[in-house]
Amino acid sequence: MSEHIVPLRIYVTIFLALLAGTTLTVWAGLHDFPGKLNVIIALTIAVIKATLVVLYFMHVRYSSRLIWVVFTSALFWLLILFALTFSDYWTRGWLSVY
């Protein structure tokens, strides 16, 4: 598998998309959306921006399977960290034993 050189045009596009995402997230942050929508919008934009950086700036889109495995396993362990912790915190009030 030889090295893939990402064209300049893609770098510029991603850069502009990241700046647009930042503007959008600031704009959305100043507006009051119903319910938990503010957090959801902010995190969705952040995840999209991070994905763009990982796929294009960090070349993961063009990298070997091995690097995909390492990256996704890191996310998987992060998921375990959050899932197990919150399965505790969120369920503490469910039983009135204490």
Partner 1 sequence: MLGRRAAGTGILPNRLSELGETVNLAQSHIATDHTASHPALQHHFENLEQQREAGALGMWVFLATEIMFFGGMFLAYTLYRTQYPLEFASASNHLSLPLGAVNTAVLIFSSFTMALAVYSAQTGKRRAQIVYLGLTILLGLTFLGIKAIEYYDKYKDQLIPGRLIPSRPFDPHGVHLLPGANPRHVEMFYWIYFAMTGMHAIHMIIGVVVLSVIMFFAARGRYGPEYHNPVEISGLYWHFVDIIWIFLFPLLYLLGRHLEHGG
Q: Interface residues with partner 1 (CB under 8 A)?
A: 1-3, 5-6, 8, 11, 14-15, 18-19, 22, 25-26, 29-33, 38-39, 42-43, 45-46, 49-50, 53-54, 56-58, 63-64, 66-67, 70-71, 73-75, 77-78, 81-82, 85, 89
* Token pair recorded at residue 44: 């969705």
C-beta closer to partner 1: residue 7 or 98:
7
Query: DSSP letter string over the chain?
Result: -PPPPPPHHHHHHHHHHHHHHHHHHHHHHTS--STTHHHHHHHHHHHHHHHHIIIIIT-GGGS-HHHHHHHHHHHHHHHHHHHHHHHHHTTTTS----
C-beta closer to partner 1: residue 53 or 61:
53
Q: How far is the CB of 97 from partner 1 (least distance, A)?
A: 21
C-beta closer to partner 1: residue 61 or 70:
70
Residue 5 in 3-state DSSP?
coil
Q: How far is the CB of 63 from partner 1 (least distance, A)?
A: 7
